[in-house]
Amino acid sequence: MQRSPAVTGEAAVREEEERTLSSLQPSRKKRRTVRKEEVCGTVFAAIPLLGFLLFSAVPVCIAVVTMFCDMNGMNIATLHWNSFANFAKAFTDLPFWKSFLVSLEMTLSHIVGLVISIIIAAVLSQKIKGGKLFTIFFFIPYVCSSAAISIMWVQIFKPTGGIINSLLSSLGVANPPDWFRDSKWFPWMLVITIAWKAPGYGILMVQAALANVNPALYEAAKLDGASRFRQFMSITFPAISPTLYFLLSMGLLNGLQTFDIAQIFAQKTSGYVTGAAGPGDAGLTTVFHIYNTMNNPGAGGMPVASILSLLLFVAITLVLALNKRISKLWVSYDY
Amino acid sequence: MTIEETKIAQPAGAAPQKVHNRVKEDKGSVAFKIVAYVLLILGLFLVLVPFWVIISTSFQERNVLEFTWWPERTAADAYELVLTSERSNILMGFVNTLWIVVPSMLVGLFVSGLASFAYAKLRFRAKKWMFAVTIATMSIPGTVLMMPSYLWYNILGWAQGPLPLIIPGCFGGAATVFFFTQYFSGIPQSLLEAGQIDGMGFFRCYVTIMIPLAVPAFVGQGILAFVGGYNDYMGPLLYLNGSEIKTLAFMLAELQSYYGAMKNSDAVSCAGAVIALIPIIAIYFVGHKFFVDGVSAGGLKD
């Protein structure tokens, strides 16, 4: 068979290419190294992805299947199709929607924590003797376990003999709140506890952001006679706004996922009330509710809990997207 | 280039001086300083009071219910109880936590480092998208995966034991991979080439060249992983509930229910919390620099 000139030309080019390649990579050994690099690189990098596949992706796929099925307890062999009955159950699950409000309330603690971090970091960024020592101490709550933190704050909020109520009575408050039994105050107790833990991380991040502000800007502002407040609003705030946005997003994310402290508080105060999550389920956050649903076949068990997890994911995504949209009004990336 | 130059996160503690601008101290700045110290000391007080509350309560005598700043008579019964009791021995909890957290942490660090070594130093075709997927997995909120994972471990038959807390960690973590990749890209390629000329394979290059150069990064990420595992509550609640093996954080939450009937159950809870906090706070004070660097780069597992 006769070859067309184009094909032979191509072959020649290919040959030429190979020759130049081999002249660039003279030895066979080198070429083997390149192949070895390809294989080793892919294998090394694949291990964490394999972990994700095995312990996150596969479970999610199974969970999606169960959403459309009835299941006897946790037994996967008893799956049978029930079309959208679980979804109907999940969407009409009133406590779930109420728990979402509680979780939103929990995000308040992170917002308060953020405000505190800004104030403390701003103060520490001035020349303050012992500032480093303060930074070290302010970070401690962040490394404590939620179990230990709950034990501390249960003691502090104790209706009889706790510090807060003793203090309130000595200040002349006639009826200090009954934190453990009053459904109005119970969530605020959680908010205060989480707000105690939250600022450590924020202080660190805001401090690092403040340190990166160009000092020349302040010099210039001072020459123009700008007041301290004006300097903050026109230089400092825009410069650290990306960090503040990041911290706000993390706060919303963590707040909407509040579980540990709500669950432990409910357990520690269970001697005072009958509700499973504080008085009248006032401390029932979304994740706490999902956890309860999983353990309660009557409420739909695992399949409904999976749907609720999915709804939580959607809700978190929406809140973060909204936060991003609003951030365009106040975050500047020009610095 | 030295390793010092490759440091990613800025130590926050060293920062404040830079912002300060030298001006003559006027009256306003003296007033500002007074307000600043009042604020800081108030903050310090609020941070430390809860610790004092549990320390003081843990030494309370049996039938005292009221909190006193300085108990007139102290008793160490509570400590004796949590350290020697059969049902909820805090020391057993500590040992359990160690063997659940430490091996998984070490393997996870090694594996994350290996993947980062590939991303930072090796050339392979799928690199770009594999890295993108790894980073994307970070954005999935952990609690959303709680239900699906539980079901999966139940299918595997692991749900009533510590395996779900150990095995997934051995595959490394996305945040750690991200951190190490940045760190490794600061180490010169020529060191790797030198290793290859000596006839080392890529794996041996990683073990004998990269790891020794990245010790600070490993220690930092190791501390973060350890603290995360030590403090983890949701994992043990899901998988160790009803099992004999209990981790420290999980035991703390339950202490009350063991001794609920006794008058000094508060003291027992607080004694447990004090003992559980000591190692973590000690680690924090010793390695706080690593903490600051690691946390400002990635944050603690919540």
By three-state DSSP, how is residue B4 classified? helix
Percent of chain A residues past pLDDT 70, beyond the cut: 89
Predicted confidence (pLDDT) at residue B171 exceeds the cutoff of 90: yes
- pLDDT at site A61: 92
**Which tokens is A203 given?**
């202080």
What is the largest distance, in Å, between two alpha-carbon atoms of chain A?
107
CA angle in degrees (0–180, nearest 5) for A135-A138-A143: 115
Structure tokens at A235: 């230089």
- DSSP E strands, A68-150: 69-72, 75-81
Nearest CB partner across the interface for B270, out of A155, A161, A264: A155
pLDDT digits (tens, 9 = 90+) for A288-301: 999 998 888 777 78
Taking CA atoms, A320 is separated from A134, B72, B130, in Å, by: 32, 52, 25
Give the residue on A whose Cα is nearest the Cα of B20. A126
C-beta of residue B23 within 8 angstroms of C-beta of residue A222? yes
Q: With contacts defined as CB-CB under 8 Å, which chain A residues touch B201?
A: 36, 40
Give the residues across from A72 on adjacent strands: A75
pLDDT of residue B17: 45
User: Is the per-residue pLDDT at B21 higher than 90?
Assistant: no
Q: Which amino acid is at A179?
A: W
Beta bridge partners of A81: A69
User: Inter-chain contact B36–A123, Cβ cutoff 8 Å?
Assistant: yes
Contact (CB<8Å) A310/B111: no
B259: which chain A residues are within 8 Å (Cβ-Cβ)?
none
Contacts of A33 in chain B (CB under 8 A): 196
Whether B105 and B222 have beta carbons less than 8 Å apart is answered as: yes
Q: Quick one: which of B247, B248, B225, B234 has its CA closest to B301?
A: B225
For residue range A131-146, list pLDDT tens digits in order. Answer: 889 999 999 999 999 9
Cα R_g (chain B), whole angstroms = 24
Q: What percent of chain A has pLDDT over 90?
A: 45
Provide mean pLDDT across the span B262-271. 77
Smallest Cβ distance to B36: which of A128, A305, A306?
A128
Alpha carbon of A195: minimum distance to chain B alpha carbons (Å): 11
Q: Whose CA is closest to A283, among A253, A262, A258, A314?
A: A262
Rounded to whole angstroms, the Cα distance separating A43 from A49 reads 10
Task: Name which of A55, A124, A149 is nearest B149 (Cβ-Cβ).
Answer: A55
Contact assignment for A260 to B234 by CB distance below 8 Å: yes
Give the model's confidence band at B290: pLDDT under 50 very low, under 70 low, under 90 confident, else very high: confident
Q: State yes or no: pLDDT of A149 exceeds 90.
A: yes
Question: Distance from B2 to chain A by nearest Cα, in Å?
Answer: 23
Q: Indicate which of B58, B112, B144, B205 best probes the interface with A, i.e. most A CBs within 10 Å of its own CB.
A: B144
More confident residue, A78 or A155: A155
Q: How many Cβ pairs closer than 8 A exist between chain A and B?
A: 335
Nearest CA distance, B188 vs chain A (angstrom): 17
pTM, rounded to two decimals: 0.85
A232-246 pLDDT per residue, tens? 888 999 999 999 999
Which 8-state DSSP code applies to residue A72? E
Cβ A320 vs Cβ A249: under 8 Å: yes
Dist. CA B258–CA B246, nearest whole Å? 14
DSSP, residue by residue, A115-176 = HHHHHHHHHHTS--TTHHHHHHHHTHHHHS-HHHHHHHHHHHH-TTT-HHHHHHHHTT-SS-
Judge whether B177 and B110 are in contact, CB under 8 Å.
Answer: no
The residue type at B295: V
Residue of chain A whose alpha carbon sits nearest to that of B15 = A211
CB contact under 8 A, B168 and A49: no
The percent of residues above 90 in pLDDT, for chain B, comes to 46
- Confidence band (pLDDT; 50, 70, 90) for A186? very high
- Bridge partners (DSSP) of residue A75 are A72
Burial of A174 (0-12, 13-18, 19+ CB in 10 A): exposed
Interface test with A, best of B151, B232, B293, B301 (most A CBs within 10 A): B151
- The pLDDT of residue A13 is above 90: no
Torsion angle in degrees (nearest 10) through CA of A303, A305, A306, A307: 90
Of all residues in chain B, the one with the smallest CA distance to A141 is B47
What are the φ/ψ torsions at residue A78 (nearest 5 degrees)? -95, 10
Neighbours of A129 (CB within 10 A): 9
What pLDDT is attached to residue B79? 87
- The number of residues making up chain A comes to 335
Per-residue DSSP letters for A182-250?
-TTTHHHHHHHHHHHHTHHHHHHHHHHHHHTS-HHHHHHHHHTT--HHHHIIIIIHHHHHHHHHHHHHH
Residues of chain A contacting B112 with CB distance shorter than 8 Å: 48
CA separation for the pair A198, A114 (Å, rounded): 8
Stronger pLDDT, B147 or B17, i.e. the higher one: B147
Nearest to A192 by CA among A240, A250, A131, A150: A150
Judge contact between A151 and B269, C-beta under 8 A. yes
The answer to whether the Cβ–Cβ distance between B145 and A259 falls below 8 Å is: no
Residue A324, CA atoms < 13 Å, CB-side half-sphere:
7
Question: Alpha carbon of A22 to those of A34, A125, B123, B193: distances in Å?
Answer: 12, 59, 18, 20
Residue type, B55: I
User: Pick from B95, B101, B88: which is nearest to B230 by CA?
Assistant: B101
Query: Chain B: nearest CA to A208, how far in angstroms?
Result: 5
- Residue among A55, A137, A305 whose CB faces B47 most closely: A137
pLDDT higher than 50, residue B2: no
Q: Cα dihedral angle (B119, B120, B122, B127), rounded to 10 degrees?
A: 30
**DSSP labels for B46-108?**
HHHHHHHHHHHHHT--TT--S--SS-SS---HHHHHHHH-STT-HHHHHHHHHHHHHHHHHHH
Query: Apex CA B143: angle with CA A89 and CA A240, to 5°?
Result: 125
Q: For residue A73, what is the nearest residue in chain B, using CA coordinates?
A: B151
- CA-closest candidate to residue A110, choices A142, A134, A136, A133: A142
Task: Give which of B147, B205, B263 to mutate to test A binding, by max A Cβ within 10 Å.
Answer: B147
Which residues in chain A touch residue B66, judged by CB atoms under 8 angstroms apart? 160-161, 166
Pairwise CB contact (< 8 Å): B57 & A147:
no
Q: Cα(first)–Cα(last) distance of chain A, in Å?
A: 68
Lowest mean per-residue pLDDT among A9-23, A198-212, B71-85? A9-23
Judged against a pLDDT cut of 60, whether residue A15 lies above it is answered with no
| Cβ contact A59–B126 (<8 Å) | no
Contact between A145 and B249 under an 8 Å Cβ cutoff? The reply is: yes
Lowest mean pLDDT among A94-103, A164-173, B1-10, B135-144: B1-10
Contact at CB, B300 and A312, closer than 8 angstroms: no
- Residue in chain B nearest A65 by alpha carbon: B148
Token pair in block for residue A233: 């609003």
pLDDT digits (tens, 9 = 90+) for B92-147: 899 999 999 999 999 999 999 999 999 999 999 999 999 999 999 988 888 899 98
Mean pLDDT of chain A: 85
Decide if A251 contacts A314 (C-beta within 8 A). no
B-chain residues near A208 (CB < 8 A): 9-10, 12, 15, 296
Cα separation, A40 vs B224, whole angstroms = 28
What is the arithmetic mean of pLDDT over A62-87? Answer: 80
Contact: A41, B54; criterion CB under 8 Å? no
d(CA B127, CA B163): 31
User: Out of A74, A148, A260, whose CB is closest to B154?
Assistant: A74
